Amino acid sequence: MTVKPFWETKTLAEMTSDEWESLCDRCGRCCLHKLEDEDTDEVYYTSVACKLLDTSSCQCKDYTNRKDIVPECTVLTLKEVKLFHWLPATCAYRLLSEKKPLFDWHPLVSGSCESIHQAGISVKGWVYSENDIAEDDLEDYIIPHTMIS
């Protein structure tokens, strides 16, 4: 008998903190600066990443202290699950909240942390650090929705 993985048998609310954390595929997409159209509420992603994102590994340089260093950093919690619509359509948190399966390239499915990069889902190699871009220029770095969805 094959045992189903936790993400197929548990709801987000039933997951342990370790299980919750393991859902993150380390794509780096949620670390991109976003602009919101005040009239339509549409969210536009930019190719400008948080200063804490290591653009080579797509991991936070100081995950434990990120909220202290970057107060506007979004910490995903179950309380905000209804707001997950702004997350990329490939994000495990969003997928599971919408009762959809994880993609084959997700590290939990593939068994490899490199599969996210090999599939071209991560931001590795095509984003800029906010340290190098003026905040007033963010609109110049809006990326097509097809790069995120």
Using a cut of 0.85, tell me whether the model's pTM lies above it: yes
Render pLDDT for 11-69 as a digit per residue (tens, 0 to 9). Answer: 999 999 999 999 999 999 999 999 988 899 888 999 999 999 999 899 999 999 999 99
Residue 138 lies in a domain: yes
Report the C-alpha gap between 114 and 128 in whole angstroms.
21
In this prediction, residue 50 carries a pLDDT of 97
Dihedral (C-alpha) 126, 104, 84, 125: value to the nearest 10 degrees?
-10
Residue 52 lies in a domain: yes
Residue 149 lies in a domain: no
Residue 133 lies in a domain: yes
- Full domain range(s) for residue 98: 6-142
Residue 41 lies in a domain: yes
Residue 82 lies in a domain: yes
Residue 148 lies in a domain: no
Burial class (CB in 10 A: 0-12, 13-18, 19+), 4: exposed
Render pLDDT for 93-133 as a digit per residue (tens, 0 to 9). Answer: 999 999 999 999 999 999 999 999 999 999 999 999 999 99
Residue 11 lies in a domain: yes
The total of structural domains in the chain comes to: 1
The distance from CA 106 to its chain's CA centroid, rounded to whole angstroms, is 12
Exposure class string for 114-128: b at 16+ Cβ within 10 A, else e: ebbbebebbbbeebe
pLDDT band at 79 (very low <50, low <70, confident <90, very high): confident
